[in-house]
Structure 1
């Protein structure tokens, strides 16, 4: 990571683009230098006000990413953004296009759902965007993300692994484990006495100890068969899950 300075921060903010990679890269750099959080927030607000209208929302997305992803490291950014975030929302809402309010509202929805800030501060942000009446209503209702209108605000926030992906990973791991034992099981089966696998050869066994051993080997054979059946089942499940992934139909 490059060293921190106000000049370096101003340069990075001037080069910030409205892409997930650009926002996340700068966010990581800021979090790395979180001991300068107070200075970072001050410079961020100043540069936000000087930025062209088309780039102002990007500054908000950056703040959203930093606030949420820095929580595990410490509360510095959450605390330092709190006193100025209402002013920032007012500025972007006033200076930006009408559609900006909708995007700011989505950021606010994320913060409300995840209780990023106290209700009193969230209510102030709601008042900035919707007025007092709307703010009171939104502070108590469950606000859902509109997946069809997903935007960068949700992309720049931490996401959980999609259920299908998680299931696929588990299936792959299980198949890997099962496949590694597949060849071993087949070797064990082939090493069993021929009498275990071919009933027509049972007449060869006359000794009591041999018969006892046969019983044990038969039990092993059944166990191996069950394990091999599981390998086959895992492969079928994996093919099914792969077929259900988006873009594979």
Structure 2
């Protein structure tokens, strides 16, 4: 997904449009860089405050998607976004918003309260603030002082599809009962699946291992060229003067530092390899789950195809068994139609 930088994030935020797909793409990029959560929230808040009024709701939908989809991987974004949540709603309460936007921001609060996304006390404060804003908006509407412009109505229509994302923390919209979905995904809580990494995450982790300590030929060559005097106690007997002893002591210190650093890198590599091994295991488990779902679906469609073919054959046989419909006589053999005048005699 590329390295993190504040400039890249600002570019993505500035180019973000009121589209569910685009919000999900930017959200996935942000979640991937959760190690930089503090910088992400700083850039997000700056763009949020400076952005146009019509784009603020899009930024809030993005924040909601990030917070909900990163909960299972770590609390970084919930913590960082929670630290500015009150300031965000203070800012929203200070600007003039149409009724639909006010309702959407309130709907976000309701979902966060229901799912306990943030601390209860914080949500109570924000909700109280927003309820005051809502009551003021209703009063202004009843007095006729607030009228929704055509531009605001157009923007409200454009984000209707984004509203639906609020109900799903896993980026899956609820489908109508009659609509069949063919989306395959590992079932949550399946044995061994854990939290399967995205393919991009796994590829990045494997590529980073290529530059691990065990692959550092230069350091290994330095260690191999260390003189035997720094590791063999018996060589101390060959020392003839204190000057030689000081030189050897310096060599031993340098070798010790080199080996200590290299051992530390190897330990870090071992931890990273265990982590990547777990990621591979979870990824393979998830793929097996997907394969099982695909095989079940394939079997289901084979059964449907067989039923369809059987119905088709039965229909052909039924049509063949129907009696022949006699050919109607041609119009030349029919009696002429009566004259309209004869009908009323």
- In the alignment, the residues of structure 1 paired with residue 176 and residue 4 of structure 2 have an alpha-carbon distance, to the nearest angstrom, of 39
Q: Deviations over 1:20-49 (max 9, x none)?
A: 111111101100111000110011111111
Report matched runs for 1:1-249 at 5 Å: 1-99=1-99, 100-131=101-132, 152-156=162-166, 157-158=168-169, 159=172, 162=175, 164=177, 175-176=300-301, 178=303
Call closer, same or farther: CA 1:57–1:121 in 2, change over 3 Å.
same
Give the TM-score normalised by structure 2. Answer: 0.43
Distance in 1, Cα, partners of 2:119 & 2:302: 47
| CA contact 1:64–1:153 (8 Å) conserved in 2 | no
CA contact (8 A) 2:106 2:130 kept: yes
Of 36-45 and 8-17, more deviation after overlay is shown by 8-17
Conserved in 2, the CA contact under 8 Å of 1:110 and 1:154? no
**Unaligned 5+ residue runs, structure 2?**
136-158, 183-292, 312-345
Provide Cα deviations, 1:53-77, integer angstroms capped at 9, x if missing partner. 1111111111001000111211110
Cα distance between partner residues in 1 of 2:96 and 2:61: 14
The secondary structure found in structure 2 opposite 1:95 is coil
Structure 1 pair 71/21, CA: closer, same or farther in 2 (3 Å)?
Answer: same
Q: Deviations over 1:163-219 (max 9, x none)?
A: 737987799566346579x7xxxxxxxxxxxxxxxxxxxxxxxxxxxxxxxxxxxxx
Decide whether the 8 Å contact of 2:10 with 2:43 is kept in 1. yes
Q: Contact 1:70 / 1:77 at 8 angstroms: preserved in 2? A: yes
* TM-score of the two chains, using structure 1 as the length reference: 0.58
- Residues 6 and 43, structure 1, Cα contact 8 Å, conserved in 2: yes
8 Å Cα contact 1:106-1:153 kept in structure 2? no
Give the match's secondary structure for 2:91: helix
Contact 1:67 / 1:78 at 8 angstroms: preserved in 2?
yes
Structure number with higher helix proportion: 1
Q: State the Cα RMSD in Å.
A: 3.2
- How many matched pairs? 170
Three-state SS of the structure 1 residue aligned to 2:94 is helix
What does the per-residue CA deviation read over 1:86-131, in whole Å, with 9 as the maximum and x for residues that have no partner? Answer: 1112212322413222110111111122121222111112112113
Q: In structure 2, do the counterparts of structure 1 residues 179 and 107 end up closer, same or farther at CA, with 3 Å as the change threshold?
A: closer
CA–CA distance in structure 1, aligned partners of residues 178 and 69 of structure 2: 22
What is the deviation of 1:151?
5.2
Q: CA 1:173/1:38 → structure 2, altered by over 3 Å: closer, same or farther?
A: same
Supply the distance in 2 between the matched residues of 1:65 and 1:155 (Cα, whole angstroms): 8
Q: Which is higher, the Rg of structure 1 or of structure 2?
A: 2
1:207 counterpart residue number: none
